[in-house]
């Protein structure tokens, strides 16, 4: 859905000197496309993964000073812009999927298809690993995480097995967890939805990286950073992520006036205009080319008014 993202942002990025923020740099594919398609624009790109910053830095080196790469989590956007002395930006892009590099690197522990240390931290210099979560969280908290972040209906069964096994030996590698999940699930649950470990691994990744709490802060901050006429595009891959984005966009696009006012004062007028009707889905062709794109949901909005205190 890269081209659709570029199309949504295009009207705001054709002005010389426009600044666009790629909040999820990854390997730099989106950033490269933004710099190529909008030759007058300047890019600020964020990522918490130092290896991603190194690799994308090599990829984007040819753009020189037009690209500024920053080691930061995307809810730190206001601080990053303050440090760079950028008061407002004209475009913001979020691609909330785990990068292919993280999924494919065996030692990161994101993928359930290969044995690896249970790490799952996007920034391996800070925070708890997935193994630490599995080995130390109370059972009730593990059940909550699997249900809320993985939408795992068999959370109680899986957690009971985890607690039983961690008492024998702490978890360290993904293969043991995958095998435990397979053994814990009833046969009917194994016949649908792909790999039975998928939902548990997703839930652990979201917990380890604080993804939803970070996103809860990041989307409003990105909207606030937009200049009037600026645009934001968000690709999410999980229903909870998409719901958060939908709520922020819908709230910004609604009037906040008390009912019954004959004229709506400026301070109650909508700040955003929605650019997508609901969430746009990838085409069949895109899914055929890249199966990881299947759950993608795209939403876009334009800043149409300043905040009025």
Model confidence over 268-296: pLDDT tens digits?
889 999 999 999 998 888 888 887 778 89
Examine the pLDDT at 23 and tell me if it is beyond 60: yes
CATH match for 2-95+211-303 among 1.10.3720.10, 3.40.50.720, 3.20.20.70, 3.40.50.150: 3.40.50.150
Range scoring the smallest mean pLDDT among 48-62, 115-129, 133-147:
115-129
**pLDDT for res 295:** 87
Is 47 among the annotated ligand-binding positions?
Answer: yes
Q: Would you state the torsion angle of the CA atoms of residues 34, 36, 40, 45, taken in this order, to the nearest 10 degrees?
A: 40
> CATH says 105-209 is which class?
mainly alpha
The pTM is what? 0.85
Q: Which residue ranges does the chain devote to CATH 3.40.50.150? A: 2-95+211-303
C-alpha to C-alpha distance for 46 and 130, rounded to whole angstroms: 23
Computed on alpha carbons and rounded to an integer, the radius of gyration of the chain in Å comes to: 21
In the numeric block, the tokens 């937009």 are attached to: 226
Average pLDDT over residues 208-237: 95
| 124 annotated to a ligand binding site | no
Percent share of the chain, pLDDT over 90: 69
74 is in an annotated binding site: yes
Q: Residue 28, annotated ligand binder?
A: yes
**Helix, strand, or coil (residue 72):** coil
User: Which ranges in the chain are annotated with CATH 1.10.150.170?
Assistant: 105-209
Q: Give per-residue pLDDT as tens, 70-116.
A: 999 999 999 999 999 999 999 999 999 765 544 545 555 566 667 88
Residue 104 marked ligand-binding: no
Does the pLDDT of residue 41 top 70, yes or no?
yes
For residues 256 and 114, give the distance between their C-alpha atoms in angstroms, rounded to a whole number. Answer: 50
* HSE (side-chain half, CA atoms, 13 Å) at 188: 2
Residue 102 assigned as binding residue = yes
166-179: b (≥16 Cβ within 10 Å) or e: beeeebeebeebbe
Phi first, then psi, for residue 223 (nearest 5°) are -60, -45
Instruction: For residues 40-67, give the mean pLDDT.
Output: 95
Name the E strands within 48-199: 67-71, 89-95
Q: Give strand ranges (E) for the chain.
A: 19-22, 42-47, 67-71, 89-95, 226-236, 272-274, 297-303
**Tell me, what's the pLDDT at 110?**
62
Residues contacting 68, CB < 8 A, separation 6+: 42, 43, 44, 45, 84
3-state helix/strand/coil string of 174-235: HHHHHHHHHHHCCHHHHCCCCCCCHHHHHHHHHHHHCHHHHHHHHHHHHHHHEEEEEEEEEE
What pLDDT does 192 receive? 63
């Amino acid at each position: 859905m890269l081209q659709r993202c570029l199309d949504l942002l295009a009207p705001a990025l054709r002005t010389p000197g426009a600044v666009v923020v790629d909040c999820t740099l990854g390997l730099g594919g989106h950033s490269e496309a933004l710099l190529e398609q909008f030759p007058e624009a300047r890019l600020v790109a964020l990522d918490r993964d130092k290896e991603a910053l190194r690799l994308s830095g090599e990829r984007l080196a040819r753009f020189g000073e037009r690209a500024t790469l920053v080691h930061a989590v995307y809810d730190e956007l206001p601080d990053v812009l303050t440090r760079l002395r950028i008061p407002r930006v004209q475009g913001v892009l979020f691609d909330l999927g785990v990068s292919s590099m993280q999924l494919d690197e065996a030692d990161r522990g994101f993928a359930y298809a290969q044995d690896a240390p249970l790490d799952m931290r996007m920034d391996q210099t800070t925070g708890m690993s997935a193994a630490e979560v599995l080995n130390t969280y109370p059972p009730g908290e593990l059940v909550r995480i699997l249900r809320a972040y993985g939408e795992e209906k068999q959370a109680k069964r899986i957690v009971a097995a985890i607690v039983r096994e961690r008492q024998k030996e702490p978890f360290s590698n993904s293969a043991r967890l995958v095998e435990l999940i397979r053994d814990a699930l009833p046969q009917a649950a194994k016949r649908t939805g792909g790999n039975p470990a998928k939902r548990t691994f997703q839930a652990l990744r979201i917990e380890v990286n604080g993804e939803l709490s970070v996103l809860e802060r990041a989307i409003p901050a990105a909207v606030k950073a937009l200049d009037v006429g600026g645009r934001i595009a968000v690709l999410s891959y999980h229903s909870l992520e998409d719901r958060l984005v939908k709520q922020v966009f819908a709230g910004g696009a609604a009037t906040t006036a008390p009912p019954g006012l004959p004229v709506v004062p400026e301070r109650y007028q909508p700040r955003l205009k929605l650019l997508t009707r609901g969430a746009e889905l990838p085409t069949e062709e895109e899914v055929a080319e890249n199966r990881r794109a299947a759950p993608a949901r795209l939403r876009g909005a334009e800043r149409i008014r300043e905040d009025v205190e």
